[in-house]
Copies of this chain bind each other. A is one copy, B any other.
Amino acid sequence: MTYSLEAGGKRIRPALVMTVSEAIQGSSETRGAALPVACAVEYIHTYSLIHDDLPAMDNDDYRRGKLTNHKVFGEAMAILAGDALLTHAFSLIPRSVRQGVPIDAALAIVEDLSTLAGASGMVGGQVADMLGEQGLTTVEQLEYIHLHKTSDLVVFSVRSGARIGGATEFQLEQLTLYARNIGLAFQIQDDILDLIGDESKLGKKTNSDVNQQKVTYPYLVGMEESKAIVDRLTEEAKSAVRRAELANPSLLLQIADYLVQRDH
């Protein structure tokens, strides 16, 4: 569990929990309350990577430049490390109540996590990805996979940050829209970087999607249209943040831009 948690990564999901909770009221007072939930979402993300890398799934030997969990500890321990990380994530949410998160917000966060990370969310996206491999033909199918496999956990991060920060229902709605769009843009940008990125910056080989015959946005709609979609999603995400009238929206606007301007 520790090996994979400490393998690095951009930590975008926990950063979003922290940033959104602070953006609502424009103060850093919620930082302690947001931390357990920020950890929870990174636990979930990490478990999903361990299981995705398994021989029965994507069969990857490397992740973030390090050997994958099952290459170091074996398949059985990798499956169990994933199961334990997933289970442990939920124990962090009651803990957030002792850091000041209202009890009804904590329970709503449990419900959001189990919905957005489960069969109708992240796991559902992975199922569609596995079942659809090489058989995808439409942008709608690919969008479904990206929305669930990637956006749903971003949506969870943003929504729980919003709940911890005491967002209104309208703010929660707008921030959900923000999260959906940056999550989708992030994943399409991943498809783009796989084709035109710099291997040394990415920490992984480019053209892996082509070599694995994976269907991507650039493959389905072309490189220029893919870039245009990323730009449009980013603008829509930023508009949603502006409509939410947060006390301090600037970091959320910067994150939206960072995700599309990043080179790794």
Contact = CB atoms under 8 A, between A and B. Distances in A.
A76 B130 contact: yes
A207 interface: no
B76 A57 contact: yes
Interface string A73-116: 01111011011101111110111010000011011101101110
Given A88-B114, A107-B107, A114-B91, A54 B79 contact: yes
B127 A115 contact: no
A67 interface: no
A77 B119 contact: no
B111 A91 contact: yes
Given A1-B119, A90-B110, A119-B88, A79 B103 contact: no
Interface residues of A, number: 43
Most chain B CB within 10 A, of A75, A94, A113, is at A94
Contacts of A228: none
Nearest to A113: B90
B84 A57 contact: no
Contact of A115 (B74, B91, B119): B91
Contacts of A21: none
A123 interface: yes
A83 B90 CA distance: 14
Given A76-B130, A103-B104, A107-B107, A87 B84 contact: no
A126 interface: yes
B87 A123 contact: yes
Interface of A: 1, 47, 51, 54, 56-57, 74-77, 79-80, 82-84, 86-91, 93-95, 97, 103-104, 106-108, 110-111, 113-115, 117-119, 123-124, 126-127, 130
| 7 tightest A-B CB contacts, nearest first | A91-B114, A56-B75, A87-B118, A84-B119, A90-B114, A94-B111, A84-B123
Given A84-B119, A84-B123, A91-B114, 13 more contacts: A47-B83, A56-B75, A57-B79, A76-B130, A77-B130, A79-B79, A83-B83, A84-B124, A87-B117, A90-B110, A90-B114, A93-B110, A94-B110
